[in-house]
């Protein structure tokens, strides 16, 4: 369809033709899993804690509420086929528009998150535990083997990090993942949870790990009056 818009110019009505915005195809649960099986990446744009509570196994989360398109452009190949999972059609359409602006136009369609329909279609779902800094000290004292994984940038790391944490920047996950011991439980964190959730979703696509998210990150750690460790730069 073509939408027409009228503009007055020199006393005459000029008709301007504007293309109708592309409307995403709504996928059923069965179609969704078929597309995943054929190589499409399931991109879940829901908020971090909602995604962590329940999501389709193998999906990658980048929250629509943050710097969504910037991180999508840095982490997703331009030719990657995508299926969007969102809370509703409006958010799915917004995600698609923002993806197109950064050259990610291979969106097949979208699906609204629905646990009942997922389970009825025998779609494998998963969850990721979330923790807050107010409680994490007790966990760290009780579980000495817990790894703290800092996925912020190197520059942020050098300004201060949680004591004993290891640096695995989100943009360098592929080359730095070997630093994470898969035999130990891990808590992933960033500044306030946005990047940590994305990182955890990517890491859990590669292998089953005992991994959680420190959802309030460095921001929550400092707000709780807990000290940061500053690495010595040689």
Query: Which domains are assigned to the chain?
Result: 29-126 (3.40.250.10), 129-223 (3.40.250.10)
CA distance 206 to 178: 12
**Alpha-carbon span 97 to 72, nearest angstrom:** 12
pLDDT tens by residue, 6-60: 333 344 444 434 344 468 999 999 999 999 999 999 999 999 999 999 999 999 9
pLDDT tens digits, one per residue of 22-37: 689 999 999 999 999 9
User: What is the H or E stretch that residue 187 is in?
Assistant: strand 186-189
Distance CA 133, CA 214 (A): 7
Q: Are 145 and 185 in contact (CB under 8 A)?
A: yes
Q: What is the mean pLDDT of residues 92-112?
A: 96
Q: Give me the mean pLDDT over the 116-136 stretch.
A: 93
Can you tell me the mean pLDDT for 52-78? 96
Residue with structure tokens 């007790």? 138
pLDDT of residue 209: 80
């Amino acid at each position: 369809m073509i939408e027409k818009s009228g503009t007055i110019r020199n006393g005459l009505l000029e008709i301007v033709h504007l293309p109708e915005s592309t409307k995403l195809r709504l996928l059923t649960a069965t179609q969704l899993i078929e597309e995943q099986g054929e190589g499409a990446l399931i991109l879940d744009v829901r908020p971090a804690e909602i995604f962590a509570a329940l999501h389709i196994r193998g999906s990658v989360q980048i929250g629509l509420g943050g710097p969504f398109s910037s991180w999508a452009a840095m982490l997703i190949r331009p030719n990657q086929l995508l299926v969007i999972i969102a809370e509703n059609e409006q958010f799915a359409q917004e995600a698609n528009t923002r993806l197109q602006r950064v050259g990610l136009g291979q969106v097949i369609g979208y699906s609204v998150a629905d646990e009942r329909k997922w389970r009825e279609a025998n779609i494998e779902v998963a969850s990721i535990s979330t923790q807050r800094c107010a409680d994490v000290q007790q966990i760290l004292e009780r579980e000495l083997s817990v790894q703290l994984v800092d996925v912020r940038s190197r520059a942020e790391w050098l300004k201060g990090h949680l004591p004993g944490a290891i640096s695995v920047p989100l943009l360098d996950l592929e080359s730095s993942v070997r630093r994470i011991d898969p035999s130990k439980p891990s808590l992933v964190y960033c500044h306030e949870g946005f990047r940590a959730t994305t990182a955890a979703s990517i890491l859990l696509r590669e292998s089953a790990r005992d991994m959680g998210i420190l959802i309030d990150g460095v921001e929550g750690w400092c707000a709780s009056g807990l000290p940061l460790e500053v690495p010595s730069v040689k």
